[in-house]
Amino acid sequence: MKILITGANTGIGFATAEQLVKQGQHVILACRNPQKAQEAQSKLRALDQGQVDLISLDLNSLELTRKAADEIADRYGKLDVLINNAGLFAKTKQLTADGFEQQFGVNYLGHFLLTQKLLPVLKQSPQARIVHLASIAHWAGSIKPNKFRAEGFYNPLFYYGQSKLANLLLSNALAEQLAGSSITNNALHPGGVASDIYRDLPKPVYAAIKLGLVPTSVPARLITQMAIGDEWAKRNGEYVSAHMPDWKSSHAKNQQLARDLYQQSMNLVKKFI
């Protein structure tokens, strides 16, 4: 199987790639930093199992995301699994190359465009799967179109929550749209994980929460099951957690909100499709 993982050079993405490669899968690492991506590829190839390729992907730019998706389609023609893993937490206001709030742009909108561009490639597989990394932090956010570009006061937790809620709503929208097709969509909360997502937190804050974090191998096991496990072959539109409650907020249960965000997102990226 050909499996694409965004942000696969470190953290949960790398741990997932490692588990998949050990099972003989063909894993494509889609990463922004070429040096770190090559280092990750070398480590995985040293396992002498499976196959490991690299694709340059910068979700901070919709144009570069479009180019990456086109390269994937041209190079492979068919994709069996897409794991939308890459993400960041920004403690200060930053914008993407297209002027969107960075957490919304990288965590969600870039993945939205990538997914849209890769749907035809996924449809070439007799049984394709898309796995979206959401978070229990979606409870901290809501969908506010006037906040997509970070206007006004910047609350980093709200914006992170908005991006993770958007990830979950995308999974819900696609699960509805693609029901009965060869593609399933599911989302997960990885739990509190010792990964680079916390790299921008103040050191005292990170030190305080670190004691409660689990290794990246914990969510990686769940993601691997969702990607290739027989038990996930027919499951669609679910939200699960690696080791914590998987409660959905009222916003996350709102299917009309999922439909509305989907259409708003299509309007935002339409010139890149």
Show the tokens assigned to 266: 């299509």
Task: Give the E-state strand segments of 77-235 in sequence order.
Answer: 81-84, 128-133, 183-189
> Across the chain, what does the average pLDDT equal?
93
DSSP 249: P
Question: pTM (2 decimals)?
Answer: 0.93
Q: How far is CA 97 from CA 32, 115, 178, in A?
A: 14, 19, 31
Catalytic (active site) residue 160: yes
Residue 189 contacts residue 244 (beta carbons within 8 Å):
yes
* Whole-angstrom distance, CA of residue 34 vs CA of residue 174: 31
Q: Facing residues of 55 across strands?
A: 30
pLDDT one-digit tens code per residue, 14-60: 999 999 999 999 999 999 999 999 999 999 999 999 999 999 999 99
Across the range 166-175, mean pLDDT stands at 98
CA angle 30, 106, 108 (to 5 degrees): 100
* Whole-angstrom distance, CA of residue 13 vs CA of residue 53: 14
| DSSP sequence for 137-165 | GGGG----GGGTTT-SS--HHHHHHHHHH
- Note the pLDDT of residue 214: 75
What is the topology classification, in CATH, of domain 2-272? Answer: Rossmann fold (3.40.50)
Of these residues, 108, 160, 239, 262, which one is catalytic?
160
Across the range 195-220, mean pLDDT stands at 66
